[in-house]
Amino acid sequence: MIRTALTAALFSLTAACGGQAQDESPPSDAGLTVSAEHVVLFPDDPGRMRVGDLRYTGGVELSSTDERFGGWSALHVSGASDALELIVASDRGGLAYGRLELDDRQSPLSVQLDRYEPMTDLNGAPLEGAAADAEGLAMLSGTELAVSFERDHRVWRYQRESPLIATPLALPPRTQGVGNNAGLEGLAIDDASLWASVEYPIRGEETHTLWRYDRADMDAAPTEFQLALDPDYGITSLETDSAGGLYLLQRFYRRDVGNRIRILHLTADRIAAAGEAALEPALLAELTPDMTVDNFEGLAVVEFNGETRLFLISDDNFNEAQRTLLLSFAIEPRD
């Protein structure tokens, strides 16, 4: 397999100028050196490209010796197909900015992370411990983003440029009933709304909870919806579609089973007609342990070259037994 190593510009410049010693940690905002190795979707059947309503368009396993690399729990991808912008959020409280490069077949080739920014609290101090567990990411504008956190459940706004000092959004109601490690993982945005979702059902309930903030009044309490989903599958990410609907990423893990991942879609019409009933998203595809799969927590959807392209990134939990995978699919419903 071909392995591609890319060194981010800031990191390369420091090394070329004879800056820090090799055994010292890089500056907290320096880029990360990332390697990428091509992966197939079905290891036992490399030519197989279809799963459900998705067509596999390629993927890579990412790695780095940088201690800041890993724990990528949220993903943002935007731009033209030959210059995709990429932002990833780590559950240790950092945001990395860079580019996703595609090859001639529009398949992921490599990732370059030019800048890493530690997130800070309301007083400007770096996030630490449970307070740093960032799980969701949504771009409010070209200069501002929102991040959701679990354990210390909250949604904060950050200006995109340094320093990343937070301002809070109204906390979704009933989050006091959310489990410690089962909280606000999903975050997505469209022109009218900011969506947030809880990973697992609130204690004592059977349905997952989804909230919608009105972007015209982001400080107002959000509207609540219920989702009729398998309670054993946690919602790890949300993404909006171009018509007011939502994509949902779900994950199941058990040691004797492995990872199982579901990608679902909820149309705007279903949301509008919900009333008091729980919403039932449609299943697009399920990734199973016989496939190239890991702890997928980040989801991004981009339109380019006449395709709706879906990207997934996995959280390796800073565990050598796990991988950071970045997979790409075209959404192509079967007839």
Write out pLDDT tens, residues 26-64: 666 789 999 999 999 999 999 999 999 999 999 999 999
* pTM score, whole prediction: 0.90
100 three-state secondary structure = strand
Please give the average per-residue pLDDT across 300-308, as a whole number: 93
Write out pLDDT tens, residues 99-150: 999 999 999 999 999 999 999 999 889 999 999 999 999 999 888 999 999 8
Write out pLDDT tens, residues 241-296: 999 999 999 999 998 999 999 999 999 999 999 888 899 999 999 999 999 999 99
Q: Does the pLDDT of residue 18 top 60, yes or no?
A: no
- Please, which pLDDT band fits residue 9 given cuts at 50, 70 and 90? very low
Q: In this predicted structure, what is the pLDDT of residue 3?
A: 36
Residue 167: Cβ within 10 Å count: 10
Q: What tokens appear for 239 in the block?
A: 């993404």
| DSSP annotation of 153 | T
- Please, which pLDDT band fits residue 7 given cuts at 50, 70 and 90? very low
Write out pLDDT tens, residues 65-82: 999 999 999 999 999 887
Distance, in Å, from the CA atom of 247 to the CA atom of 266, rounded to the nearest integer, reads 6
Q: Does the pLDDT of residue 214 top 50, yes or no?
A: yes
Please count the CA atoms within 13 angstroms of the CA of 315 that sit on its side-chain side. 24
- Please, which pLDDT band fits residue 334 given cuts at 50, 70 and 90? confident
Domain residue limits, the chain: 3-18+28-331
Residue 283: Cβ within 10 Å count: 15
Distance, in Å, from the CA atom of 151 to the CA atom of 208, rounded to the nearest integer, reads 17
Residue 313: Cβ within 10 Å count: 27
Distance, in Å, from the CA atom of 39 to the CA atom of 333, rounded to the nearest integer, reads 23
Residue from 106, 125, 140, 120 nearest 308 by CA: 106
Strand order in the sheet with 223-227: 184-189, 193-198, 208-214, 223-227
Please give the average per-residue pLDDT across 179-186, as a whole number: 78
Distance, in Å, from the CA atom of 187 to the CA atom of 195, rounded to the nearest integer, reads 5
Q: In this predicted structure, what is the pLDDT of residue 27?
A: 64
209 three-state secondary structure = strand
Q: Exposure of 132 by Cβ count < 10 A (0-12 exposed, 13-18 middle, 19+ buried)?
A: buried
* Coarse DSSP helix, strand, coil percentages of the chain, rounded to the nearest 5 percent: 5, 50, 45
161 three-state secondary structure = coil
Domain 3-18+28-331 sits in CATH at: 2.115.10
